[in-house]
Structure 1
Amino acid sequence: MLDQAAKEKVYDPAYSESRKFEKVHTRIYEDSNKASYYLAKRIALLIQEKTKKGQPAVLGLPTGSSPIKVYENLVHFHKDQGLSFRNVVTFNLDEYYPMVPDSIHSYVRFMNEHLFDHIDIARESIHIPDGTLTKEQVQKYCRTYEQKIEKIGGIDIQLLGIGRTGHVGFNEPGSSINSRTRLIRLDKVTILDAASDFFGEENVPARAITMGVGTILSAKKIYLMAWGEGKAAIIKQTVEGPVTESIPATFLQQHSNCEIVLDQAAASQLTRVDTPWLVSECSWNEKLIKKATIWLSGKTNKAILKLTNEDYNEYGMGNLIAEIGSAEEINLKVFNQLQSTISGWPGGKPKADDSQRPERASPYPKRVLIFSPHPDDDVISMGGTLMRLVDQGHDVHVAYQTSGNIAVFDDDVLRFLDFAHEAIQHDEAKSEAKKLFEETQFFIGQKHAGDLDPPKILELKGLIRKGEALSAGRYCGIDEKNMHFLNLPFYETGTVKKKPFSQLDIDITLKLLNEIKPHQIFAAGDLSDPHGTHRVCLQIIINSVEQLISENIDWLKDTYLWLYRGAWQEWDIADMEMAVPIGPKDMKRKRNAIFRHQSQKDKAMFPGADEREFWQRAEQRNRETANKYDQLGLAEYEAVEGFVRYHF
């Protein structure tokens, strides 16, 4: 029996037309929570159907951040709705090699913590590649793994994530469509992506055991899931690009029953989402007109005011011209919209007409509260704007939401302790400092990659980050009493994996908000990151403000919340609602403020896929934003920091 989506695909011509560039069925959800619930529901229905027939439900399961919410929903179905897993047999996609099962990096441990320990599945029904085998044993083991899948009748549902290289499982670029379970060498990009979990890329295993592409394609149903803008580029290639061994995920186009499940951020580069006017006639609104005109400017390499009727017609926007009247009218409207976003007065210009400005002229000065998820995000992401707010006389506060302690190298702790020991003159204190140095040195000398630091060392690492934040804040002109270190409890696990946030995190945030009563709030708006610290920190702020709204707090009625982006990417020009120009002098000041965070200088603990230092990323990003405004025909600036307003 066809589900609703399948009916639409078969019978609705508009449905097919809007997806004409897509070579595999793709389903887009508002966010990863809704998408994860859909996937968990499909798995639960399969289990129930198989149970009625007295047959095993065979699942192929992945690890990583993407399936966590799926597993949480399955656990919920088991505990609260009685879904039994007694008839379920699982085969995991992969495992690092070598890897012992009780390692914090082991996929055995991951699956137990997120799923198996919470359901009634029989342990003999769980199959995860064995990372403890000798190299001589691996080949025979892999053949046996394949035989077990074949003997039980094949995999009913194969759940997949996707890497930035387009790998599924650990099938790296170059993998054959006929490949089977085997030992492989990991791609450099995959190792970089895993580096944060292993506290440095040098600790990531170079090899892994993985199901092959052929094994995956043998499944009866395949769901590939992807969340966040970081996956948008590879999803576009997977869904709309040619089939190629250089992007193994494109082989899924050749499967007869595959579905790509995305959140809006991961789908953002698909043609029907990014440039819908290329697939069908649009229902134009102000936001879409702005986005389309900016896109057309880039496509034709013309400033906005130089675009012609012919340009719009040639690129699928003839109906927009027919609706509005002329290119000139559209161009002027969009140009004025962009012009009004640019402001050198991020706190509002006092005694000025603010009708065409992003921020209000009054009150002046404003109380400004900048939330920084880690102790350096404020200066990395909006350092120029922060200093502009201080220079223009506003009462600027910075709230460092987490300690950032896990991002400090062990050598930095020893360096600071050694200095403390040498600098202290009082004999008793000197002796205590020496003892702490020796104990720390001994622990670090015995420490293995991924070992948890004891509370005392975590405290010291947090103090290092705090001292750097104080130094940067003082450089920016912020009074020390206006620097608030919240140390939100959700973060304090000592590991990359954090606890879910709780009311305690919200209460700490509420207390600060009520103390300051800010007219402006700035927060990291990395909304596309489904599991990172930035996203959790933003959700805590949003939940706190919503609680204040429910309590009808008066001061909040005069508050704007502005979102900045982190060190990884920038807002799209079409989305920016405030663009703050940064001149050469202030760019240098911003760089100097970032340099105050010495433990993150030269090499960061968690650099992500971009190996450049944070100041280099920030400068390039700010200059690229300024260059885009220039290319659109607006004023030429050295650099620009962009913001989007959050509307409750």
Structure 2
Amino acid sequence: MSAAATPPVPHVPVRIFPDSEAASVQVARELATFIRERAAQGRSAVLGLATGSSPTRVYEELVRLHRQEGLSFRNVISFNLDEYYPMAPDSLQSYVRFMHEYLFDHVDIAPGNIHIPDGTIAADQVADFGRHYEEQIRAAGGIDWQLLGIGRTGHIGFNEPGSGPASRTRLITLDHITRTDAASDFYGEENVPRRAITMGVGTILEARHVVLLAWGEGKAAVVKRLVEGEPTDSVPATYLQHHPAVQVVLDEAAAAELSPRKTPWLAGEPCNWQQPALVRKAVTWLARELEKPILKLTDEDYNENGLSDLLANSGEAYTINIRVFNELQHTITGWPGGKPNADDTYRPERATPFPKRVLIFSPHPDDDVISMGGTLLRLVEQGHEVHVAYQTSGNIAVFDEDVIRFAEFVADYDELFRFDEQPAENLYQRVADFLRNKQPGQVDSEEVQQIKGLIRRGEAKSALRYAGLDPDTRAHFQDLPFYETGRVRKKPLGEEDIRLTMALLEQLQPHQIFAAGDLSDPHGTHRVCLAAIMQAVQRLRAEGCAWLSDCRVWLYRGAWQEWDIDQIEMAVPLSPQELTRKRRAIFKHQSQKDRPLFPGADQREFWQRAEARNRTTARLYDQLGLPEYEGIEAFVEWITD
């Protein structure tokens, strides 16, 4: 084996589930079993609890178990990990409010058994509060069961890089990355508190049992460091490697960078080389590792880099190279809707029917053009009947000053415009008064939310017109109810969301569906929107809808992350002119231009991200020895059976 082929050693036990739903339900059931066992023994169950997006489904399942299966929390004593500082308990972003909304208000836990760091105490009292918090934990007998998430900096609780294994409950300054990740909850990074009170790493390590949850591609890199890296205060979560009873619970996406998943041939895992997808993954990895085109890989390259078993199983390098090269070549198509009157044996899309009825689902009002704008333009030009369903209003992502600008415009044309049968100047005054007195993080009034939604809707229509589509007949604004909270934190996917999606599918009966598979979206909207589509399709299939047998579902990415090259099943090349046209379509979304309200970790504008990812994908194809293009948009097929 070469140095590159040295198997990494996992340092903590890992459990991987197909998705976060299955993982969360299982963790909740295990926690419920522990609570019941302690109750049967007449003992308290002392729980350390986390906030953030990772544990929410666990809490929802615990509430269900309480309501439907009699799980009691009367013997539970809870200690939360952290709280922003300063922070009023009734603030929208308060972890006190979070815990009550997701768990405490729905179960029978005694109020006196709830402990959460106090974000209202004076700064000179925080040190004493930290010592008292530690004393309360000890007085309760110590934490039995600690639930954790993990931040991109590797923090557990709010123990940022630099936090040592002996650290205790204290006030800490938040890392810039942590504040950036929290910006959406606070409607802008400038509103995020710079400090927080957190249990220390040492406090966490004293828990008898620790379960850390991580979901999505965005956590994959830091999970790899936790599981396979060495303990270091630059990634405080790595100190969990010293804990005798820790489990890391992941979904497939968060586990993607772990060696048994990414390079199983280096991790000592048994490999089934009869699986074409695994062979393709290995060969593209080898070519990229050695910076060689696929067709130039040699027997020695395979043998010296941990792939001798593949060579022994599949024959000489040349045979393997040709097979994988052809598979990649067959993903490339300039006809994303299928080429009529052509042999489609080796094309990713079938030639018939032509033209196709195409339905593009866009979670936000700009995801269609950001992630697959070039493909959308080409589908229209090639004569397909293209429809776009905008699943949410996107209203929270509009700056307040844009609302003022549009309200002023309406007021200037008062004799032509009315709002609820009131003069438009009254609209302007109401909006201006509300926004003038609006507090950081405050939910917009219904009137302001509606205006922001109309701004996003108008931009989406403009982009469709630019693409050659009539928005009156080809745009479908679903405004799914789960999103319409006026807050970054959304409701869970509901029956009405699925029913609306089913109704649109039944109405259009498309031959092709495009949906966002970009699950790294830090706000979770993409994940919920995709779940709505998948559940709708599965229900319709169970009901025997015949049109689904002639429908293919393609998943796109691009706004937050791109598909790995070994995953791509359809690659649509873009010329320089097409990439420019795609950029112009994105520019129609003016409220998201220059500086999006919620940029996430990537501070570039969305058009810059999209172009960079399109060019990177094209460059990878070129480096592997395939044709060179200006850009490529990539898709993976979702098999609905």
TM range, smaller chain: over 0.9
Is structure 2 residue 603 aligned with structure 1 residue 611?
yes
Distance (Å, rounded) in 1 between the aligned partners of 2:570 and 2:465? 26
Shift of 1:519: 1.1
Contact preservation (8 Å) 1:347, 1:389: yes
* Structure 1 counterpart of 2:263: 275
Instruction: Specify the alignment match of 1:10 in structure 2.
Output: none
- Larger mean CA deviation between 290-299 and 357-366 belongs to 357-366
Measure, in 2, the Cα distance between the counterparts of 1:323 and 1:46: 47
Residue 509 of structure 2 corresponds to 517
SS at match of 2:187: coil
Once residues 79 and 242 of structure 1 are traced to their aligned partners in structure 2, the CA distance between those partners, rounded to angstroms, is 43
Distance in 2 of aligned mates of 1:256 and 1:20: 20
Is the CA contact (8 Å cut-off) linking 1:93 and 1:211 kept in structure 2?
Answer: yes
Structure 1 residue corresponding to 2:456, chosen from 438, 461, 465 = 465
Q: Unmatched 5+ residue regions in structure 1? A: 1-17
Report 1:343-358 matches (<5 A): 343-358=333-348
**1:361-388 CA-partner distances (Å, limit 9, x unpaired):** 1111111111111110000000000001
Q: Partners in 1 of 2:31 and 2:156 — Cα distance?
A: 19
1:585 is matched with which residue? 577
State the alpha-carbon separation in 2 of the partners of residues 524 and 162 from structure 1.
25
**Structure 2 residue aligned with 1:91:** 79
With over 3 angstroms needed to count, the CA separation of the structure-2 counterparts of 1:512 and 1:54, relative to structure 1, is closer
Cα-to-partner distance string for 1:323-377 (whole Å, 9 max, x where unaligned): 1111111100000000000001101111111000001111111111111111100
Q: Could you say which residue in structure 1 is the equivalent of 2:615?
A: 623
- Residue 331 of structure 1 is matched in structure 2 by 321
Map 1:250-261 onto structure 2 (within 5 A): 250-261=238-249
- How many percent of aligned residue pairs carry the same amino acid? 61
Q: Tell me the equivalent position of 1:294.
A: 284
Q: Tell me the C-alpha RMSD between the 2 structures.
A: 1.7
Counterpart in the other structure of 1:451: 442
SS at match of 1:196: helix
User: Does the 8 Å contact 2:59/2:103 carry over to 1?
Assistant: yes
CA contact (8 A) 2:522 2:600 kept: no
1:77 positional shift: 2.1
Residue in 1 that maps onto 2:125? 137
| Amino acid of the structure 2 residue aligned with 1:196 | S
CA distance in 1, matches of 2:417, 2:68: 61
Q: Which of residues 156, 161, 167 is equivalent to 1:173?
A: 161
Among 476, 491, 498, the alignment partner of 1:484 is: 476
Matches within 5 A, 1:492-531: 492-527=484-519
| Structure 2 residue aligned with 1:441 | 432
Question: What is the distance in 1 between the residues matched to 2:544 and 2:520?
Answer: 30
The AA in structure 1 aligned to 2:80 is N
Alignment partner of 1:637 is 2:629: yes
Structure 1: distance between partners of 2:395 and 2:591: 10
Aligned to 2:185: 197
- Residue 93 of structure 1 and its aligned partner are, at CA, apart by 0.3
Match for 2:400 among 400, 406, 410? 410
Give 1:543 deviation, angstroms: 1.8
Q: Find the residue that maps to 2:185 and give its secondary structure.
A: coil
CA distance in 2, matches of 1:496, 1:271: 34
Number of residues paired by the alignment? 631
For 1:99, what is the secondary structure of its paired residue? coil
CA shift at 1:427, angstroms? 9.6
Report Cα offsets for 1:275-323 as digits up to 9, x if no partner: 0001224122111000000000011111001111111111111111111
* 80-89 or 571-580, which deviates more: 80-89
- Residue of structure 2 equivalent to 1:5: none
1:340–1:356 contact (8 Å) kept in structure 2: yes
2:200 is aligned with what amino acid? G
The 10-residue stretch of structure 1 (365-374 or 72-81) with the greater mean CA deviation from structure 2: 72-81
Q: What whole-Å deviation, never above 9, does each CA across 1:413-456 have from its counterpart, x for those lacking one? A: 11011122224555989981211111110110011012121211
Shift of 1:515: 2.4
Q: CA deviation at 1:499?
A: 2.0
Q: Does 1:314 align with 2:304?
A: yes
The residue correspondences of 1:548-567 to structure 2 (distance < 5 A) are 548-567=540-559
Query: Residues 551-577 of structure 1, C-alpha deviation per residue, up to 9 Å, x if partnerless?
Result: 222222211111101400001111111
How far apart are the structure 1 equivalents of 2:48 and 2:543?
A: 47
SS in structure 2 opposite 1:154?
A: coil
Task: Tell me, in whole angstroms, the C-alpha distance in 2 between the residues paired with 1:47 and 1:95.
Answer: 25
Task: Summarize the Cα distance change of 1:428–1:366 in structure 2 as closer, same or farther, 3 Å threshold.
Answer: closer
What SS is found at the alignment partner of 2:184? coil
Structure-2 separation of matches of 1:199 and 1:243: 35
- Could you tell me how far apart the structure 2 residues matched to 1:86 and 1:452 are? 34
Unaligned runs of 5+ in 2: 1-5
Question: Could you tell me whether the CA contact under 8 Å between 1:32 and 1:530 is conserved in 2?
Answer: no
Distance 2:289 2:239 in 1: 30
Distance 1:524 1:426, change over 3 A: closer
What one-letter code is carried by the residue in structure 2 that aligns with 1:630?
A: D
Tell me the CA shift for residue 504 of structure 1. Answer: 2.2
CA distance in 2, matches of 1:426, 1:60: 59
Mapped partners of 1:514, 1:78: distance in 2:
37
What secondary structure does 2:265 align onto? helix
Is the CA contact 2:520–2:560 (under 8 Å) kept in the aligned structure 1?
no
| Counterpart in the other structure of 2:52 | 64
Change in Cα spacing, 1:53 to 1:428, as seen in structure 2 (3 Å) is closer
Distance 1:108 1:440 in 2: 31
Structure 2 vs 1, CA of residues 427 and 605 (structure 1 numbering), >3 Å: closer, same or farther? closer
Distance 1:333 1:101, change over 3 A: same
Mapped to 1, the partners of 2:563 and 2:553 lie a distance apart of: 16
DSSP 3-state at the match of 1:276 = coil
SS at match of 1:609: coil
TM-score, structure 2 length as denominator? 0.96
The CA distance in 2 between the partners of 1:646 and 1:243, in whole Å, is 39
Cα distance change of structure 1 residues 309 and 118 upon mapping to structure 2, 3 Å threshold = same
Q: Secondary structure at the match of 1:291?
A: helix
Asked if the contact 1:21–1:271 (Cα under 8 Å) also holds between the matched residues in 2, the reply is no
Which is further off, 364-373 or 178-187? 364-373
For residues 173-203 of structure 1, give each alpha carbon's deviation from its aligned partner in whole angstroms, at most 9, with x where no partner exists.
0111111000011000000000111111111
**SS in structure 2 at match of 1:197:** helix
Partner of 1:9: none
Aligned-partner residue type, residue 260 of structure 2: R
> In the aligned structure 1, how far is the partner of 2:222 from the partner of 2:416?
60
- DSSP 3-state at the match of 1:579: strand
1:157 is displaced (CA, Å) by: 1.1
- Distance in 2, Cα, partners of 1:172 & 1:471: 44
Q: Which residue does the alignment assign to 1:386?
A: 376
What SS does the corresponding residue of 2:571 show, helix, strand or coil?
A: strand
Alpha-carbon distance, 1:530 to partner? 9.2
The CA distance in 2 between the partners of 1:460 and 1:631, in whole Å, is 47
Q: Distance in 2 between matches of 1:376 and 1:94?
A: 35
**Secondary structure at the residue paired with 2:48?**
strand
Q: Which residue of 2 aligns with 1:4?
A: none
What does residue 364 of structure 1 align with? Answer: 354
Shift of the alpha carbon at 1:110?
0.5
Q: Check the 8 A contact 2:558/2:613 in 1, yes or no.
A: no
> Cα offset for 1:237?
0.5
Give 1:6's aligned residue: none
Q: CA deviation at 1:520?
A: 0.9
8 A Cα contact 1:221 1:258, kept in partner: yes
CA distance in 1 between counterparts of 2:612 and 2:392 reads: 26
Q: Out of 474-483 and 208-217, give the one that drifted further.
A: 474-483
Q: Give per-residue Cα distances to partners, 1:79-100, cap 9 Å, x unaligned.
A: 2222221111111000000111
Tell me which residue corresponds to 1:574: 566
Distance in 1 of aligned mates of 2:315 and 2:185: 55
After superposition, the Cα gap between the structure-2 partners of 1:308 and 1:161, relative to the gap in structure 1 and judged at 3 Å, is: same
Distance 1:594 1:193, change over 3 A: same
Range with greater deviation from structure 2 (299-308 or 67-76): 67-76
